[in-house]
Structure 1
């Protein structure tokens, strides 16, 4: 079964973030994994009070050598994050769906949501990924 992704280019994320009608929209991104931080507990505030959540930052790079930081939260930070740490030296291509954008300390950053799915593609040839139309990439 083929999965259809609707990728957004890194350069378009900030302009979408600045448009109110696009703010909070979930996007799909992909790139080569270049950094995985250790997971950490981050204090958060909700309407029911202060809590701590597990978070892990990763960085991917696209064909144009643009870097994008993505914060993985909770189970994704722990489970998928541990897998990513183990394969980091292989610089795998990852696909992450349903991410949202936010500004943190003035820098644009993506973050996973409860609907996000992370796919690890270690055996995909780079030429297949960086195709003529990577925004319509289909992966088996």
Structure 2
């Protein structure tokens, strides 16, 4: 039986989920109808919070699917299109027992942020596909014990 906290990447590397924080995107009421710019601001706030918990390194964002609300034909200006994000935001930290790029380091890690329709587990299949195809060597940070 596969463990839910272990993911094998298509590269053959195994990563381990060590931290997962989830919350509702629309937990607090927002005035009016959410728009594209509201979604972008929310994503930026979550990225900044995740960066603080990742030793200042930028987390990897799996781009969220945006869902237009209503008829997309009216003449909306940039940023005014009513838009929803999937309702659950997930911030995770993954680790590998091996370095990503610096052979003098002991292990590597990466914070990943994504959105999905339900609380995990399971992780949304589209997100899991993206995780498995992740270029770990490009995005992960190397660490010493």
TM-score range with shorter-chain normalisation?
A: 0.3 to 0.5
Name the structure where strand makes up a greater proportion of residues. 1
TM-score normalised over the length of structure 2: 0.33
TM-score normalised over the length of structure 1: 0.34
